[in-house]
Structure 1
Amino acid sequence: MNDTFASRADNKTRASGTARILVWDAPVRVFHWLMVASFAGAWLTAESERWRLLHATLGYTMVGLVAFRIAWGLMGTRYARFSAFVRSPAAVIRYMASLVKGRPERHVGHNPAGAIAIIAMLLMTLAVGVTGWAVYNSTGGEWLGELHEGVANAMLALIAIHVIAVLASSLLHRENLIGAMVTGYKSGHADESIRTARWGFAALVMAVVIAWWWTQWQAAPVPAPDQTAGAAAHPRTEGDGDAD
């Protein structure tokens, strides 16, 4: 029975000319999910003085990840390169028009509209990082803090739009785009697949990030003993020691 189902699947693949192909390499996927985790953590700790160091650490992590993504966008695998998905305004308009018509253009990698969101998020991350560094080191005035918060809010809004667009694109293209960013696989022609996932580079990125987090953990100040609790445990009155 399994052979029968396998045979039917093979016949369907041959008929459609498509197969399950590797599109997103491991460094791109690791970058993506580390950015998601870092932004979420930085956002949740933004208003807490207690978690200020963690907030800054995650912010610097995002800046480092952007630096890596820029380099990988020049030397990475086929669909990781900026040349593969950054398109002209005319291409973006054409793609948006195809969505309105209900016949979306097929793109194995990022589509032209998604490319705009990606570039915008990379630039916003750098802006958040620079202003955050200035605020953390008390450089500049109060306006920098407001700018830092404003850019972070704009980035959150863009991320929300990006998520909605990914979900909508998944429905229009009938393909799980979120799952593809986990597994790296999408539907396509055999000659459109990348040859390797480049797990070695992904492991290096993870190692650098973990090492950075470890150094920040080690450099974190040790909380001082709670003197108030100590005083409460051993109350002392003015007459202590003078009873006799």
Structure 2
Amino acid sequence: MSTHTSPCEPTGRVLVWDLPVRVFHWLLAISFAGAWLTSESERWHLAHITFGYTMAGLVAFRLVWGLVGTRHARFASFVRAPAAAWRYLKSLVTPTPEHPIGHNPAGALAIVGLLALIALTTATGWANENDLAGDWLEELHELGANALMLLVLVHLVGVAVGSLMHRENLVRSMITGMKRGPAAQGITRSWRWLGALVLLAVLGFWGLQWQTAPTPEQLAEATSAGQSGRDHDDDD
């Protein structure tokens, strides 16, 4: 079934994004921003790890929800070949641009890329944290993080362009879940309990990490011990 809005179809405000998708989106944005801002800080290293593990868990949830979730959350409803993305981008400069009610084909490719890069970055970060490889893996982790930031910027530009071309606030739609489209293309259930469960799971994980975080005195002792070890190695 087509998910494009036809000029002949009556349109109104319909529910497109269920609550789990919206909660996932904003928690992922917060976690990525937090991980990026704490990436170079020894003091905030635990926060960096916490945000990274949160991203990994969110991606795992999204992969499952992309298979069994609501209509516009399922990958089958929006993931298309690169040719479809190119056709969509070309339509933006025409008088009648394509206007999918869910993710557009270009945005879908960005989403797939984001999920893949997050999986790569969090996996290499976990491996580095557990000393499973050498410097090359740390460099791969940094490369993945930089590529992820670049794709996030591309995604933000795409959201801005899509909002202007379609005269619809796409950021607001990811808050309310509502978009303009035919009633037949909307979803009937928001799955509020599942969205709340995802939010509580993340907040609970953050709270657990906070409770087990080392005190400033412990951090100072660990830093001092690490410095003493390096000095001893230099003497040898």
Q: With the length of structure 1 as denominator, give the TM-score of the two structures.
A: 0.84
What is the identity, as a one-letter code, of the residue corresponding to 1:197? Answer: S
Percent identity between the aligned chains?
54
Which of 161, 164, 170 in structure 1 is aligned with 2:157?
A: 164
In structure 2, what is the Cα distance between the partners aligned to 1:68 and 1:16? 34
What is the identity, as a one-letter code, of the residue corresponding to 2:116? Answer: L
| Contact map agreement 2:20 2:192 (CA 8 A) in 1 | yes
In structure 2, what is the equivalent of residue 237 of structure 1?
none
1:183 aligns with 2:165: no
How far did residue 54 of structure 1 move? 0.7
In structure 2, what is the equivalent of residue 112 of structure 1?
105
1:76 aligns with 2:87: no
1:193 aligns with 2:167: no
In structure 2, what is the equivalent of residue 221 of structure 1?
214
Which of 122, 137, 156 in structure 2 is aligned with 1:129?
A: 122
How far did residue 37 of structure 1 move? 0.2
What is the identity, as a one-letter code, of the residue corresponding to 2:12? Answer: A
In structure 2, what is the equivalent of residue 55 of structure 1?
48
Secondary structure of 1:216's counterpart equals helix
1:96 aligns with 2:89: yes
What is the identity, as a one-letter code, of the residue corresponding to 1:92? Answer: A
In structure 2, what is the Cα distance between the partners aligned to 1:40 and 1:88? 30
Q: With the length of structure 2 as denominator, give the TM-score of the two structures.
A: 0.86
Unaligned runs of 5+ in 1: 1-14, 228-244
In structure 2, what is the Cα distance between the partners aligned to 1:221 and 1:83? 44
Secondary structure of 1:187's counterpart equals strand
Q: Which has the larger radius of gyration?
A: 1
Structure 1's consecutive aligned runs of 4 or more residues displaced over 6 angstroms after TM superposition are none
In structure 2, what is the Cα distance between the partners aligned to 1:164 and 1:52? 30
What is the identity, as a one-letter code, of the residue corresponding to 2:100? Answer: H
In structure 2, what is the Cα distance between the partners aligned to 1:45 and 1:25? 31
In structure 2, what is the Cα distance between the partners aligned to 1:197 and 1:142? 45
In structure 2, what is the Cα distance between the partners aligned to 1:191 and 1:216? 44
How far did residue 16 of structure 1 move? 7.0
How far did residue 102 of structure 1 move? 4.5
In structure 2, what is the Cα distance between the partners aligned to 1:117 and 1:190? 27
RMSD: 1.6
How far did residue 224 of structure 1 move? 2.0
In structure 1, what is the Cα distance between the partners aligned to 2:106 and 2:197? 30
Secondary structure of 2:137's counterpart equals helix
Unaligned runs of 5+ in 2: 1-7, 222-236
1:21 aligns with 2:17: no
CA 1:29–1:47 in 2, change beyond 3 Å: closer, same or farther? same
In structure 2, what is the Cα distance between the partners aligned to 1:45 and 1:58? 9
Range with bigger deviation, 81-90 or 93-102: 93-102
How far did residue 186 of structure 1 move? 0.5
How far did residue 103 of structure 1 move? 2.8
